[in-house]
Amino acid sequence: MSNPFSLEGKVVAVIGAGGGIGEAVARMAAGQGAHVFCLDMVPQTASHTAERITKAGGGADAGVIDVTDGESVDATLKYVAGHGGRLDAVVCTPGVNVRKKMLDYTEEEFDKVLRVNLKGTFNTLRAAGRIMTAQGRGSIVIFSSIRSLVVEPGQSVYACTKAGIVQLVRGAAAEFGPSGVRVNAVGPGVVETPLTAPIKANPDWYNAYANKSILKRWATPDEMAGPTCFLISDAASYVTGTILFADGGWLANDGRFTPPGM
């Protein structure tokens, strides 16, 4: 039997490939045999990831994309599909967070978080969906979060976007599925990325998050790449419309206190 987890010969676009989780996904997908289009707002970071892949013997190209601009997303993914001959998978990782209590939030900050997290997801789903439904196959993976289910002070707006992403994924899965296109989300816990750098700089905050998970540590970006590559592989051919949590057991762990004698 062929390896259903292999990505050999697949054309994969990774949005946010310039760093963090996106870079890790791009590198792992290439390592599994995919030709990866490394897409990012910053051309230098996208090119750097593509260069790392090619130096390691993989296949990669680089390009610029702005998920908040629908025309940019449409044009870029059409280019990928044309240049690659098809578009087997799209992974979208970008997200922003403004950590503030609701009473301190400005409308501009609210708009910023929704524009990147929700509008960016919508633009990606629409552009990828148009291409993939026409070709009759494909897989899309969007990044949500544990914050789609649980929240804490200062995370209300971010959490609402991550919950909204899950519903956009489910809706897209329902609409694209009859054409052979799968759509799923990954829900990370706490991952060491540039987005979470302010937390890492505060030892008490960093350790509190580490101790909340069952594994008592933060994840690395590479640990998000595995679940993602599974979802875009043929091994997940009957998986769609769902969210795969990769949270170290955060959501399963009810509370931070272990009762005496346990």
Enzyme catalytic residues: 158
Helix ranges (H only) for the chain are: 20-31, 43-55, 70-84, 107-114, 120-135, 156-176, 197-200, 203-212, 222-232
Spatial separation of the C-alpha atoms in residues 135 and 255, rounded to whole Å: 47
Residues 6+ apart with CB under 8 A from 104: none
Instruction: Give ∠ CA 127-16-4 in degrees, rounded to 5.
Output: 75
Phi, psi torsion values for 92, nearest 5 degrees: -120, 115
Spatial separation of the C-alpha atoms in residues 154 and 212, rounded to whole Å: 18
- Give which of 142, 135, 141, 99 is closest to 118, Cα–Cα: 142
Spatial separation of the C-alpha atoms in residues 61 and 80, rounded to whole Å: 9
